[in-house]
Amino acid sequence: MVSRVEHPAAGYKKIFESAEELDEPIPAQINGAIPSWLGGSLLRMGPGLFEVGDEPFHHLFDGQALMHKFDLRNGQVTYNRKFIRTDCYVRAMTENRVVITEFGTMAYPDPCKNIFSRFFSYFKGIEVTDNCLVNIYPIGEDFYAVTETNYITKVDPDSLETLKQVDLCKYLSVNGLTAHPHIEADGTVYNIGNCFGKNMSLAYNIVKIPPVQKDKSDPIEKSQIVVQLPSSERLKPSYVHSFGMTNNYFVFVEQPVKINLLKFLSAWSIRGTTYMDCFEACESMGTWFHLSTKNPGAYMKATNQGFIVVDLCTWKGHEFVYNYLYLANLREEWEEVKKAAAKAPQPEVRRYVLPLDIYKEEQGKNLVSLSYTTATAVLCSDGTIWLEPEVLFSGPRQAFEFPQINYSQCSGKKYSFAYGLGLNHFIPDRIVKLNVQTKETWVWQEEDCYPSEPIFVATPGATQEDDGVLLSIVVKPGTERPGFLLVLDAMKLTEVARAEVNAIIPVTFHGLYKP
Ligand SMILES: CCCCCCCCCCCCCCCC(=O)OC/C=C(C)/C=C/C=C(C)/C=C/C1=C(C)CCCC1(C)C
Ligand SMILES: [Fe+2]
């Protein structure tokens, strides 16, 4: 899968440019045939406004949230997009400047205010962003666009209208939640977030939001913390992006990119620091896997021969990979992009195996007895277990990222196929399928094309894990219809159809298919 593709024309710059929302859906021109059973909507989130007035946003995660929708009905496709009316967007539009500090862009005080009110507005405390550009997922019968803060935004998946902002702090003791919940077949949502408690007690809280309520009340009102995991360092919690879940367990990977809380809570509002300035690498820490039972009341022994297998997309070393995602770097000419990526952490897809049955007398021995993996776990004298991974995919500066699986069939179970976005020196230029058992790979790639995270949709009644299609939004600059929805056969990774529109579609991160 190692890509030798070069991008001398630097067409990728187009996916980091502002776009206008649409008044109404536009029809797409179809090449190939969209499967007749594929009726639904692909909803995706990403940044769509990369500057306000003459103030630029600096980081990939700062542009204002734009929601995209490809609607598929009877073989026909339309495309629509709207900015979410978050507080940060509405206030930016009203004042024509960056009003709320984003991930890597600081908001300056209002230049129209006099020196005293400017001084006091600095001390008003942190105004946390509600820029929900990262993902969209269902809670009960509702849909929420999210980032990783405590603010989530209820949206209408049909009209793309913004409905309301919800502050999770009103219901739960968390400072934020990840944009990557796990959702069970009945609609129960699990997620994890940092909690900076009283007396500086730090924890990672796992949250459960129940499915649709019989009395039609909002499930968020019934949300609760189900597990609390301790932070390995007193003043510095780790940055959390996602977590793992099986039928019986939660797996949380505490990694060495830390949030410096002192900076976060004090310096930030006074000196105008951004979120990015509050992260630091902890060179001495390594990475800790935390395991907890999911439902102690209904605990059942794991069936997977007493092991939990954890497959991860990783970035090697201690440095935060987000340091390499400033827009100025991503918009460089190709030779410069390559030079910058050469210094960045290197990507690797890894498998770790956590043994569940541990006996003192086995100290120093490899506890993993699964025939199909070379990953090891050795019990140390202090009672901890040292894990070494099996590498599932590795290519220099070629990442397999934004991983997806046949979630409804395989979530938390043994599986064979992962689908991902191939990043070539951080530039998304291919879609990859990886057989995690054999390490075989398949690639879809086309000249000057910039795809997004592929979403798997199973063929109705399918019996095989990879019987279905992958949906990805692709940008091919310089053509008559430069944005298209790509439909790939998930078995062979060959093109089934594309639905093209006359619009450049800015980069999107995550999303879902709503049947
Ligand atoms: C699609 C192509 C992109 C090209 C480059 C991609 C490189 C990819 C590297 C892999 C990373 C994948 C990330 C994908 C995007 C994503 O999911 O994340 C975006 C995350 C964002 C915007 C996070 C925002 C988090 C905030 C504002 C957190 C705030 C907080 C803290 C820092 C401390 C605790 C409190 C709080 C407020 C939650
Ligand atoms: Fe993500």
**CB distance 150 to 196 below 8 Å:** no
Look at residue 290 in the predicted model and tell me its pLDDT.
Answer: 96
Is 57 a pocket residue for ligand 1 (Cβ < 6 Å)? no
Structural domain contains residue 406: yes
AA letter at 81: R
pLDDT per residue rounded down to tens, the chain (515 residues): 555 799 999 999 999 999 999 999 999 999 999 999 999 999 999 999 999 999 999 999 999 999 999 999 999 999 999 999 999 999 999 999 999 999 999 998 766 665 554 444 554 567 899 999 999 999 999 999 999 999 999 999 999 999 999 999 999 999 999 999 999 999 999 999 999 877 678 999 999 999 998 999 999 999 999 999 999 988 889 999 999 999 999 999 999 999 998 888 775 666 678 999 999 999 999 999 999 999 874 444 444 569 999 999 999 999 999 999 999 999 999 999 999 999 999 999 999 999 999 887 889 999 999 999 999 999 999 999 999 999 999 999 999 999 999 999 999 999 999 999 999 999 999 999 999 999 999 999 999 999 999 999 999 999 999 999 999 999 999 999 999 999 999 999 999 999 999 999 999 999 999 99
Measured in angstroms, how far is the CA atom of residue 164 from the centroid of ligand 1?
22
**CB distance 65 to 45 below 8 Å:** yes
Q: Which residues pair with 431 in a beta bridge?
A: 421, 444
Look at residue 305 in the predicted model and tell me its pLDDT.
Answer: 61
Look at residue 361 in the predicted model and tell me its pLDDT.
Answer: 81
What distance in Å separates the CA atoms of residue 183 and residue 364, rounded to the nearest whole number? 38
398, 509, 510: which to mutate for ligand 1, most atoms within 8 A of CB? 509
Structural domain contains residue 426: yes
Six-digit token string for 513: 């298919």
3-state secondary structure at position 170:
helix
Is 277 a pocket residue for ligand 1 (Cβ < 6 Å)? no
Is 428 a pocket residue for ligand 1 (Cβ < 6 Å)? yes
Structural domain contains residue 50: yes
Please, is 359 exposed, middle or buried when counting C-beta atoms within 10 Å of its C-beta (0-12, 13-18, 19+)? exposed
Which residue's alpha carbon is nearest to atom 15 within ligand 1? Answer: 509
For residue 375, give the DSSP letter. Answer: -
What distance in Å separates the CA atoms of residue 503 and residue 476, rounded to the nearest whole number? 10
Type and span of the H or E element at 471: strand 468-475
Task: Assign 3-class secondary structure to 120-164.
Answer: HHHCCCCCCCCCCCCEEEEECCEEEEECCCCEEEEECCCCCCEEE
Q: Which residue has the tokens 């929601």?
A: 67
Q: Which residues pair with 55 in a beta bridge?
A: 52
Residue ranges making up the domain that contains 86: 11-514
For residue 247, give the DSSP letter. Answer: S
For the chain, how many residues are written?
515
Is 151 a pocket residue for ligand 1 (Cβ < 6 Å)? no
Measured in angstroms, how far is the CA atom of residue 135 from the centroid of ligand 2?
8
Six-digit token string for 456: 């798997």
Measured in angstroms, how far is the CA atom of residue 445 from the centroid of ligand 1?
26
Long-range contacts of range 122-127, CB-CB < 8 Å, 24 or more positions apart? 122/269, 122/270, 122/272, 123/269, 123/270, 124/269, 125/269, 126/101, 126/268, 126/269, 127/100, 127/101
∠ at Cα 47 (313, 73), nearest 5°?
85
Look at residue 301 in the predicted model and tell me its pLDDT.
Answer: 45
Measured in angstroms, how far is the CA atom of residue 134 from the centroid of ligand 1?
7
Structural domain contains residue 4: no
**CB distance 434 to 441 below 8 Å:** yes
Measured in angstroms, how far is the CA atom of residue 452 from the centroid of ligand 2?
12
Which residue's alpha carbon is nearest to atom 17 within ligand 1? Answer: 134
Q: Which residues pair with 434 in a beta bridge?
A: 418, 441
By 3-state DSSP, what share of the chain in percent is helix, strand and coil, each rounded to 5? 15, 40, 45
**CB distance 485 to 510 below 8 Å:** no
Measured in angstroms, how far is the CA atom of residue 262 from the centroid of ligand 1?
21
3-state secondary structure at position 32:
strand
ipTM score of complex = 0.93
Is 321 a pocket residue for ligand 1 (Cβ < 6 Å)? yes
Is 280 a pocket residue for ligand 1 (Cβ < 6 Å)? no
Q: Which residue has the tokens 């990369």?
A: 50
**CB distance 238 to 254 below 8 Å:** yes
Structural domain contains residue 209: yes
Look at residue 124 in the predicted model and tell me its pLDDT.
Answer: 54
What distance in Å separates the CA atoms of residue 509 and residue 47, rounded to the nearest whole number? 9
Six-digit token string for 363: 């100290």
| Terminal alpha carbon distance of the chain | 32
Is 1 a pocket residue for ligand 1 (Cβ < 6 Å)? no
290 is in an annotated binding site: no
Is 327 a pocket residue for ligand 1 (Cβ < 6 Å)? no
Contacts with 273 (C-beta within 8 Å, 6 or more apart), sequence order? 106, 263, 267
What distance in Å separates the CA atoms of residue 131 and residue 88, rounded to the nearest whole number? 6
> Ligand 1: which atom is nearest the Cα of residue 510?
17
- Least distant ligand from the CA of 134: 1
What distance in Å separates the CA atoms of residue 63 and residue 86, rounded to the nearest whole number? 12
**CB distance 385 to 358 below 8 Å:** yes
Six-digit token string for 147: 């980032």
Q: How many domains does the chain have?
A: 1
What distance in Å separates the CA atoms of residue 452 and residue 70, rounded to the nearest whole number? 14
**Measured in whole angstroms, how far is the alpha carbon of residue 28 from the centre of its chain?**
27
CA-wise closest residue to 282 among 253, 258, 261: 258
180 is in an annotated binding site: yes
CA-wise closest residue to 455 among 173, 42, 104, 31: 42
Which residue's alpha carbon is nearest to atom 6 within ligand 1? Answer: 426
318 is in an annotated binding site: no
CA 263, 265, 271, 277: dihedral to nearest 10 degrees? 40
Is 101 a pocket residue for ligand 1 (Cβ < 6 Å)? no
**CB distance 454 to 472 below 8 Å:** yes
**CB distance 60 to 28 below 8 Å:** no
